[in-house]
Amino acid sequence: MRSLSLKKRPDGVAVLLFDTPGRPVNVLSSGLLDEAGPLMREIREDDAVVACVLASAKPDGFIAGADLDEVLAMGAAEAESISRGAHAWLDRVEESRKPFVAAIHGAALGGGLEVALACRYRLATDDPRTVLALPEVMLGLLPAAGGTQRLPRRIGLQRALPMLLTGKRLRAAQAYRCGLVDALTSPGGLLETAAKAALALAKGTLRPPTDRRPIAEAPLALPPLRAWAIGKARAEVLRKTRGLYPAPLEILACVEKGLADGLAAGLEEEAVRFGRLAASEGAKNLVRLFDAMTALKKAPKGSPAPRPVNRLGVLGAGLMGEGIAAVSLPLAPVVLKDVSEEGLARAARSLRKGLDRRLRSAALTRLERDRRWLALKPTTKPEELAGCDLVIEAVFEDLALKRKVLAEAEAVLAPDAVFASNTSALPIGEIARGAKRPERVVGMHYFSPVPKMPLLEVVVAERSAPWAVATARAFGVAQGKTVIVVKDGPGFYTTRILGPFVNEAVVLLDEGAAIPDLDAALLDFGFPVGPVALLDEVGIDVAAHVSRDLGKAFAARGAAPSATFGKLFDAGYRGRKNGKGFYRYGPSTRPGGRKEVDRDVYAHFGGTERKPMRAADLVDRLVLLMVNEAAWCLQEGVVASPRDADAGAVMGLGFPPFRGGPFRWVDAVGAAEVVARMERLRTLCGKRFTPAPLLLEAARTGRPFHG
């Protein structure tokens, strides 16, 4: 089945229509490139055609990018070749005597934007669905159809670099303002308007400005200044990625080459470097994670229909409750209940600020802002929860309190309303003990900050009913989260595998490791936050609690919670929240700013004389325990599949995304090697390093976790 069709209109405009069969969005593939050739020739040779419009037949999208399944299967040579093929096609679009107009409605991402960039004129609909971006860098790839060349030439280096290096998305109005889009129009009659523009371009009555770059960019034409700007960008990339992500650096190299040596040289650079990236395991892992995220949006086969949530209750107006309310307001009215008026006022203020900010950036219309604000009902009265279809509790992590609020809610909820707990480690079964209807109780474990963190763990207790699980899952997906469904148990999945990881960090400090060495080692492995800094963020008290509970639950396997947690707690250390942690926190400390170690804390770890340790050893000690615990979870059915386990670890805990997750990492290193390292550490450090049976099995059979 064909993705492209050509329709010639009596007015001389030919419409090249994109319609990828069998998919809700259009994607560029080698097949499409093959189709394009003959159609381009037809456009060129037919004298009746004076201009061309590129449009999408999909109702809500232009072109969403390349066919990732295809890219995943490619080696370097193939990838290079497809990039060259795209260049050849789009060169012909750009150089065509007959002007090409891109009619953009909906998402024009990656290759889709690159196709539009090659056209003489870009018309976009002023609609919230319309978005333009080059997100390839986020998948470890680069825009391989001329994006690194045409974008900076069109909108200037300063505006192009954030799009190229971070995948920054532009809305229609923003794209128009910076010259990426030439005109805005309403969605209705887009094709006709585009045809009018195409004819006017052909006649010469429409002459769009050729250079949209801001005047301030003029100095960048000078090679030394340009080199300086690119050098700055490169330094910034290295600082942010610690050199672990090649994609942004390759993109910069393409941009630089093209600006110095011309378009053809730049495109050649693109093709070669794209080949390298597409073949890299890092990029493949990122694409696989993207696929997993997409797949996890669908409910598993045989799942009962979820109950619609027309009214949501959130218990607890703290940071988590507020965040959950924030991501839910677009979906349903939210009753936000707390015992403290101050807490409610603070949460209300913060939620309003968030809405106002989105109004200012035109992400929301004024009416949407008003509606969402008025849909929030802060209250101290439990009776107001009546009529809620789902209640999510995010109160203080105390079993008695959670049981109390569950009872309070059950008194007013309908029999088929779902009650979900946001607890990160209290067993759902325990919370549900004594409930009138335990079947309605599930866990919905969010990560902080809720609006930003993509993962949601839905926890299924023994008595949780499938309809309750389905409802929680569906609502999480509606909130935009990637949902993994896990079984109830100590720490569920993510907390359970994080526990030994952070505990081992404290054990290493007990053994004399230096905090900067420890954090740097894991940052260089690819974690976004070092384990010691993470302890401060999560809270030393919380970590102590979790470590103790998990230690008890898994004592038989040699879990060894460090006693220093208790000492730190007694000495008043809570972490960032009370300003007393492993690092110094003061009024000048920005959330992402460089931190200074609070050397006083070493007093609890045997003094300020620290032992130098090899980064590789530090990494092994922590990562092997996390991975091993993940294997236990898979074995016990806590997590359903290696795919879910990898997605959970990456999106909930920051396991290095380019490594794909714990099981991808085991497959990459080799289970036999992983087991060997663990055996060595068992001898040196203790029983906790005993490899899980699933790992031993994998080492024995040689079968990878990801088939």
Partner 1 sequence: MAAKNVHGRTVVFAGGCRTPFLRAGAAFADVMAYELGAMALRGLLDRTGLDPAAVDRVVMGTVLADPRTTNLARESALAAGLPASCPAFTVTAACASSNVAVSGAVEAIASGAADVVIAGGAETLSDAPIRFGREVRKRLIRSQKAKGVLDWVKLLQGLSLKDLAPDTPAIAEFSTGQTMGQSAERLAKRLSLTREAQDRWALRSHRKAAAATRAGLYVEQVVPARVPPSFGPIDADDGIRGDTTLAKLGAIPPAFDRAFGTVTAGNSSFLTDGAAACLLASAEAAERLGLAPRARVAATALVAMEPLEELLLGPVAAVAKALDRAGVPAGEVGVWEVHEAFAAPVLAFLKLLADRSYCRERLGRKDAVGRIDPKRVNAWGGSLALGHPFGATGARLLTTCVDRMEREGAEIGVVTTCAAGALGHAMVLAR
> How many angstroms separate the CA atoms of 266 and 146, rounded?
8
**Closest CB 371 distance from partner 1, rounded Å:** 6
Q: Percent helix, strand and coil across the chain, each rounded to 5?
A: 55, 10, 35
Report the amino acid identity of residue 344.
L
**Closest CB 333 distance from partner 1, rounded Å:** 8
> How many angstroms separate the CA atoms of 322 and 320, rounded?
5
Q: Which of 80, 270, 457, 504 is catalytic?
A: 457
Pick 242 or 349: Cβ nearer partner 1: 349
Pick 370 or 600: Cβ nearer partner 1: 370
Q: Which residues of the shown chain bind partner 1 in the complex (CB under 8 A)?
A: 333, 341-342, 344-346, 348-349, 352, 367, 370-371, 374-375, 377-378, 387
Pick 352 or 584: Cβ nearer partner 1: 352
281 is catalytic: no
**Closest CB 590 distance from partner 1, rounded Å:** 25
Cα three-residue angle 567-570-575, rounded to 5 degrees:
85
**Closest CB 309 distance from partner 1, rounded Å:** 16
Pick 371 or 604: Cβ nearer partner 1: 371
143, 134 in Cβ contact below 8 A? yes
450, 326 in Cβ contact below 8 A? yes
Pick 128 or 300: Cβ nearer partner 1: 128
> How many angstroms separate the CA atoms of 698 and 631, rounded?
10
Pick 83 or 328: Cβ nearer partner 1: 328
Question: What are the start-end ranges of the E strands in 179-298?
Answer: 183-185
> How many angstroms separate the CA atoms of 285 and 472, rounded?
28
- Measured over the CA atoms of residue 254, residue 255, residue 257 and residue 263, the dihedral's sign is positive
DSSP letters spanning 559-620: ----THHHHHHHTT--BGGGTBSSBB--TT--TTS---B-GGGGGGGT-S------HHHHHH
**Closest CB 539 distance from partner 1, rounded Å:** 26
Secondary structure element (H or E) that encloses residue 550, with its range: helix 540-553
Pick 232 or 349: Cβ nearer partner 1: 349
488, 429 in Cβ contact below 8 A? yes
Name which of 55, 43, 394, 18 is nearest 193 in CA terms. Answer: 55
DSSP class of residue 304 equals P
**Closest CB 310 distance from partner 1, rounded Å:** 10
Structure tokens, 464: 């949780």
Dmax over CA atoms of the chain, in Å, equals 86
**Closest CB 330 distance from partner 1, rounded Å:** 13
**Active site (catalytic) residues:** 457
